[in-house]
Each structure stands twice: as structure tokens, then as C-alpha cells.
Structure 1
Amino acid sequence: MKPTSEPVLTAGGILLLAFLSCLLLPAPLLGQELAQKLMSLFHFVDMNQLYTIIFCLWFLFLGAIEYLAIRFIWRRWFAV
């Protein structure tokens, strides 16, 4: 039987690794034309809103990848 706190710890681990990613890895930089297209597509008022969404998604994506990699390594080589 799985512990009931596992989903909470999973989400917390992803958020923690996302925070570490924002300290270590730069987010992608969009060109001016692509940024204008995305702003008109999603109806953003200014580029600050666009980059806030991009940074959040980028760092959560990196955190999830890091979490899965660390979990795989832990279960493969270190777990008893």
C-alpha cells in the first residue's frame, strides 16, 4: 500500500527542483516576432505576462524532468 503523502511529496519535489532549475538554467529567449505572435494568440497585454507564463512553464518542465531522472536513479541503483 502506498503512503497517502506520496502525491504531496511528488508535487513538492517537482516544485523544489523547478526552483533549483531557475537558479541554474536559463529560460529560452523568444525573438521579437514570435513573442508578438504569442501575445496576440493568447491576448496578453504586455510581454511581462508572456514571459511570466513562459518562465513558469519552463521551470516546472525542468523540475519534472529532474524529478523523474532523480527518482529513476534512486529506484534503479540506491533503493533496497
Structure 2
Amino acid sequence: MKHPLESLMTAGGILLLAFLSCLLLPAPSLGIELAQSLMTRFHLLDLNQLYTILFCLWFLLLGVIEYAAIRFVWKRWFSLERDS
């Protein structure tokens, strides 16, 4: 039987791992030409808006990847329950 708060724990785990990624992993940096083209494409006012959105998406993506990897390892090798 699944825990009723599993979806909440999943979202919380992803956010926690995203925050840890902020501390441990480098964020991508764009060239000036690419940054300016993205600013005009998405109608942003300055580079600060672009990099804020970029960093949020980057760290959430890393959090999802880390969560999926840790969950896979946990379910595969450390979980006491075995799916039939």
C-alpha cells in the first residue's frame, strides 16, 4: 500500500535536492549573443531575469534527476518491500 503523502514527499524531495544542487554543482553560463537572443525571444527586460529563470530551471532539473537516481537505487537495492 502506498503512503497517502507520497506525492507531497516526492515534491519536497525534489526541492530539497534542488537546493543542495545549488550548493554543490555549477550552473550553466551563456554567451552574450545567446543571452541577448533569449532575452529578445522571451521579452525579458534584463539579464538578471534571464539568469534567474535559467538557474531555477537548471536546479529543479538537477533535483529531479538526483531524486530519480536516489529513488531507483533505494527501490532496487535497499528497500525491504519486494514488488511481486
TM-score category of the 2 structures, normalised to the smaller one: over 0.9
Larger-gyration structure (1/2): 2
Q: How does 1:1-80 map to 2 (within 5 A)?
A: 1-80=1-80
Q: How far is the alpha carbon of 1:2 from its aligned partner?
A: 1.8
Structure 2 letter corresponding to 1:35: A
SS of the counterpart of 1:27? coil
Task: Tell me the C-alpha RMSD between the 2 structures.
Answer: 0.6
Q: How far is the alpha carbon of 1:3 from its aligned partner?
A: 1.6
Alignment TM-score, normalising by the size of structure 2: 0.93
Distance 1:65 1:25 in 2: 13
Question: More helix by proportion, 1 or 2?
Answer: 1
Segments of structure 1 that go 5 or more residues without pairing to the other structure are none
Distance 1:42 1:4 in 2: 39
Q: How far is the alpha carbon of 1:59 from its aligned partner?
A: 0.1
Q: Identity of counterpart residues, as a percentage?
A: 73
Alignment TM-score, normalising by the size of structure 1: 0.98
